[in-house]
Amino acid sequence: MLTYSTKRIGLIGRVWDDGRESLKTLVIEKGRVVQMMDGKGDLTGMPDMTVIELEEETVIFPGLINLHTHIGYNILPIWESRTIWKNRFQWRNNAGYKKAISGLLDYIKGNWKDDPGAVTALAEIAKTLPEVEKAHVIISEIQAVAGGTTIIQQTLDLDDEQPDNRSFIIRNTGDQLDLPIPANKQVNSVVDFYKPNVMPDGTAEEDTGNWMPVAQSTYTDFVRSVNNDNTPFYSSLIHAGEGKAGFVKGSVADPYSRKEMDLLFASLKKDIPDPGQLRQARLAITHGCGIDLAGEGLEFMRGNGLHWIWSPVSNLLLYRDTVDVRRLLEKDITVCLGSDWSPSGSKHVLDELKFARFVNILLDLRISDRELFKMVTDNPAAALGLSRSGSVKEGGDADLFVLRKKRKEEDALQVLLDSSDKDIDFVMVNGRIVFGLTRYFKDQLKVDFQGFSAQEGAEVSERGVSINSAIHFDLAGALTIMDTLLQRYGATVLQDPGLRRTKFMAADDLLYQKNIEGLRDQVAQLCWG
């Protein structure tokens, strides 16, 4: 569970609110914005106040919400499979994927504490560190928060998260204590509602036309919850229909992904007698590329209040295709953005937002920049049913980040969409500055923090992270162990001695930047060629 700052903070700066910037004074206490005054408010009568007055070139944005990620994998660089797949079950059963991704993670987990090849000093550090899962979570949460993320999808195993594997730096949908939802309910995250009735051979050439989707226990659990007055699930984030959509030029829709989506809508209609209960279920579909946009699916979604989570980077990297989200928006379906995971996705949801804008222009989706921004703020807050998130407001959670502009006259949203994570001064979650330029920790707040070495990158070396001391987490020690194991696996198993963990910040990660630019070029060629 997150902790809030023991300090009462007065934050003075320009706040962005749906296209407008205005000077505000935020009084932040116990994780909430308890008062919001116009202009530079009078804080002299408030005792024990730590005042942070921002420069005119900065602007306060609401924290970003990422409803699609697999955080346990986010230490890894982009997986360069160089294959165009039809659906997710093909690459998930591919020998190359298992060796490069799942095998690597198994190796790290299996060798974390008693790695026989580690030097004595490294072994001693390992003995004092928390379990390897905690290291995965915290390292990945730092990567997310560097891009302004303040709420992220459930940590580690989406289908089965344990209480000890919850949030440490930012809010996590798997920990209801970090979200304003009833204590007896939870956010339900699911990787597979369905699996095919065959074992895929792991190649992209296999014909998927004869595959049939088989409902998993996760589907049964969801239906039971909906029919039980949506208890225990307060909201549900599910994967379904991930594969080729047939939208991008030259692409052919994957028949198996279509079957998953058709079965999902038909089953929900049959298995939930009271449609009002489904409208209250806050169900969000991730990927969903198999949806038949000419069929009844869109009307079913609109009529039952279903939401959508779009991950264009992952879709286009793996399948060279994505869904026509314009059609969903025309039906007033709430669309959110998710970064997916590092092997085939964005560094964080800020980069996903920037790539979505590129796709929007390239494919002429005609989505406004403000509507795109809502996909990482207001829309996911609505999908989760969180009234205190998605905007900076009195009574809301103090989840925000501060963006730096070159000139105060610049439009803040345009700057954000053209920016990098290096343009973020700091990120606040639950009223605590958890990541940002070290001067905020040293000079403004005078609190302890953990820094980054120069080898982590020039931009992140100027920043620090505040990790609750009660967690007893040594970031530098964890990184040493993680990097040693990654490099050893790369050299001995993958024959890639240059294998390295992904950088924390996109601004520092030249390989990541190169891969994303390469994807842009490939998609542009598909559309213009």
List pLDDT tens digits, range 131-162.
Answer: 687 888 889 999 999 999 999 997 655 444 44
Residue 6 CB contacts under 8 Å (≥ 6 apart), including other chains: none
- Please report, for residues 96, 168, 472, the alpha-carbon distance to residue 109 in angstroms, rounded to integers and kept in the order given: 19, 19, 19
503 found inside a domain:
no
pLDDT at 136: 84
pLDDT of residue 473: 84
In a domain, 477, yes or no: no
**pLDDT of 176:** 79
Distance separating alpha carbons of residues 74 and 197, to the nearest angstrom: 30
- Measured CA to CA, the distance from residue 474 to residue 66 in angstroms comes to 26
HSE-up (13 A, CA, CB side) for residue 510? 3
The pLDDT assigned to 88 comes to 97
- Has residue 133 been placed in a domain? yes
- Please provide residue 278's backbone torsions phi and psi, each rounded to the nearest 5 degrees: -65, -35
473 within some domain: no
Q: Are residues 356 and 397 in the same domain?
A: no
Domain that holds residue 41: 8-62+393-468
Q: Residue 361: CB partners within 8 Å, gap ≥ 6? A: none
Question: Are 163 and 180 within one domain?
Answer: yes
Claim to verify: residue 56 and residue 194 sit in the same structural domain: no
Neighbouring residues of 462: CB distance < 8 A, sequence distance ≥ 6: 437, 438
C-alpha closest to that of 89 among 285, 287, 346: 287
CA pair distance 80, 101, nearest whole angstrom: 11
45 contacts: CB under 8 Å, gap ≥ 6: none
Give yes or no: residues 441 and 369 share one domain. no
Residues in the chain with pLDDT values less than 50? 114-130, 158-165
Tell whether 508 is covered by a domain.
no
CA distance 154 to 193: 17
Q: What is the pLDDT of residue 119?
A: 42
376 and 398 in one domain? no
Helices (H), 201-285: 217-227, 255-271, 275-279
Q: Report residue 73: phi and psi, to 5°.
A: -100, 0
DSSP 77: P
Q: Is residue 494 included in any domain, yes or no?
A: no
Within this chain, do residues 318 and 422 fall inside the same structural domain, yes or no? no
Looking at the fold, whether 164 and 250 belong to one and the same domain comes out as yes
Mark whether 51 and 71 lie in a shared domain: no
Number of domains in the chain: 2
Answer yes or no: is 264 within a domain: yes
- Same-domain status, 90 and 199: yes
Domain CATH number, residue 19: 2.30.40.10
Q: Is the pTM of this model over 0.85?
A: yes
In a domain, 526, yes or no: no
Do both 300 and 332 map to the same domain?
yes
What CATH number is associated with residue 132?
3.20.20
- Residue 47 pLDDT: 82
Residue 429 shares a structural domain with residue 364: no
206 and 317 fall within a common domain: yes
